[in-house]
Amino acid sequence: MQDSQAVQIYKEASVNTASPGVLILMLYDGVLQGINRAEHGITLPSLVKRNEEVHNGLMRAHEILRELQQSLDLEVETEFGERMYALYGFMLDRIFDANVKKDLEGLGPVKEMLLDIRSAWDEMLRTAPAVGE
């Protein structure tokens, strides 16, 4: 078995056995990985490869964030749900603009917010494991 196949099998097993709370944490990681991929891509010397890496990274981040936004239960009106929906909308707009313009400068606040949310989510899972299971 090739290393890439083993990694893929491991990732699938991790997703299939993770609690809902851990899955959300993994989704935040996926968004951040997409942004990091775009940040790496912007440094590539080839215009074609640069645009491809930036686009693919930001599309991945956008798709995952969109899923997070759509998974919010807005039928039960809560301030948290409404605020998260708006926050995700802000992030989605910034990611879309960065992708269209191939200019990542506007993603700094998005990345900072994502890191803060991810950190808070991780802390919640560690201090109250029943919530994430």
Residues 6+ apart with CB under 8 A from 131: 21, 124, 125
Alpha-carbon distance of 30 to 62, in angstroms, equals 10
Q: Work out the angle between the directed axes of helices 47-70 and 20-41 (0-180°, nearest 10).
A: 160
Report pLDDT digits (tens) over 75-120: 887 888 899 999 999 999 999 999 999 999 999 999 999 999 999 9
Report pLDDT digits (tens) over 27-77: 999 999 999 999 999 999 999 999 999 999 999 999 999 999 999 988 887
Fold of 3-132: Four Helix Bundle (Hemerythrin (Met), subunit A) (1.20.120)
Is the pTM of the predicted complex or chain greater than 0.85? no
Domain locations in the chain as residue ranges: 3-132
Alpha-carbon distance of 101 to 96, in angstroms, equals 9
Alpha-carbon distance of 114 to 17, in angstroms, equals 24
